[in-house]
Amino acid sequence: MPPSQKRARRYDPVRTRAAVLAQFAHVREAVSALTPEQLALPTRLGDWTVRELAVHLTMALSRVTHGLELPEPASPKPDLTLLEWPFSTADRAARIAEDTTAAAADHPDLGALYGEVAGRFEALVPVDPGERLLPTRVGAMRLADFLVTRTVELVVHTDDLNEAAGLAVPYDRQALAACTRLLADALAERAPGGSVEVRVPPFAVVQCVQGPKHTRGTPPNVVETDPLTWIRLATGRTGWAQALDAAKVGASGERADLAALLPLMG
């Protein structure tokens, strides 16, 4: 079945909104306790320091509120679907970096910034957005869909923050689940088919890659990993060979090699 005809997974927008706020609260608590020395540490994100990463994390929410302050798009349909979003990020990397650097310079007080961003999000983002469209940099998206993308931004960059500053910021279960599922579905979108089963327990199972389709019994080609390893693979934080060598991924079958398909996001 072509990707355009696949039925997209549905997410409960009420639970997604709550998950975004919960994950942001975890990050906010951790950032508030960082020392100047920790804020100056390097990250795996190019030239960004931990402070710039902390500022960037607030943009996961401020992108939503900024869009809500603009007129709703006149088009009756979104320009970008949820499954298309992961593939739209690479082209915006340079602008995102510029915006982050500028925001870090404009907001010397991280505590005030986090409080302002959280307050505006709670005030402006409806508990149930319905079918409202939101203007974004990649075109109009359903607000409910864009909220799902916020779980990806928050979970991925929480992992970046933990790695850079030696922290153990927790992951909201619903945020981690939504992030894992969207990136798993994006893999199936990139490589439609039924010859390989990718398992990311306890959140996602997808079939992908063209070839003989599995219908019953034990699949001949299986990839299995944990949510954080999958997210790191999908976003380029770790490589396929590296994850295999570290026994973070199990892969069985002649087609169970996803190296050429990863990362999904730039």
Is 182 within the bounds of a domain? no
- For residue 42, give both structure tokens: 């390097």
Is 183 within the bounds of a domain? no
How far is 179 from 231, CA to CA, in rounded Å?
8
One-letter identity of residue 89: T
Which CATH number covers residue 195?
Answer: 3.30.1050.40
Q: Do 202 and 145 lie in a common domain?
A: no
Per the structure, the complete domain to which residue 94 belongs is given by 3-176
Q: Do 140 and 196 lie in a common domain?
A: no
Of 72-81, 126-135, 205-214, the one with minimum mean pLDDT is 205-214
Is residue 7 over pLDDT 70? no
Is 52 within the bounds of a domain? yes
Is residue 40 over pLDDT 50? yes
Q: Do 78 and 162 lie in a common domain?
A: yes
Which CATH number covers residue 104?
Answer: 1.20.120.450
Q: Percent of the chain, pLDDT > 70?
A: 95
Mean pLDDT over each residue of the chain, to the nearest integer: 93
* pLDDT tens-digit readout, 200-256: 999 999 999 998 766 666 778 999 999 999 999 999 999 999 999 999 999 999 999
Which distant-in-sequence residues (6+ apart) come within 8 Å of 52 by Cβ? 43, 100, 101, 104
Of 31-35, 85-89, 245-249, the one with minimum mean pLDDT is 85-89
Q: Provide φ and ψ at 79, rounded to 5°.
A: -85, -25
Which distant-in-sequence residues (6+ apart) come within 8 Å of 39 by Cβ? 49, 50, 51, 54, 110
Averaged pLDDT for residues 62-91: 93
* pLDDT tens-digit readout, 105-120: 888 999 999 999 999 9
Q: Do 140 and 229 lie in a common domain?
A: no
Is 65 within the bounds of a domain? yes
* pLDDT tens-digit readout, 217-230: 677 899 999 999 99
Is 96 within the bounds of a domain? yes
Of residues 170, 228, 226, 188, the one with CA closest to residue 19: 170
Of residues 145, 133, 130, 49, the one with CA closest to residue 97: 49
Task: Give pLDDT, residue 4.
Answer: 38
How far is 49 from 181, CA to CA, in rounded Å?
29
Of 29-38, 84-93, 222-231, the one with minimum mean pLDDT is 84-93
Picking from 109, 141, 176, the residue at the C-terminal end of a domain is 176
Is 80 within the bounds of a domain? yes
- The structure's pTM equals 0.94
Picking from 176, 209, 231, the residue at the C-terminal end of a domain is 176
Is residue 2 over pLDDT 80? no
Q: Do 34 and 162 lie in a common domain?
A: yes
Q: How many domains does the chain have?
A: 2
How far is 157 from 7, CA to CA, in rounded Å?
29
Is 185 within the bounds of a domain? no
Give the ranges where the chain is alpha helix by DSSP (H): 13-32, 36-39, 50-68, 93-106, 110-124, 143-165, 173-190, 227-234, 240-245
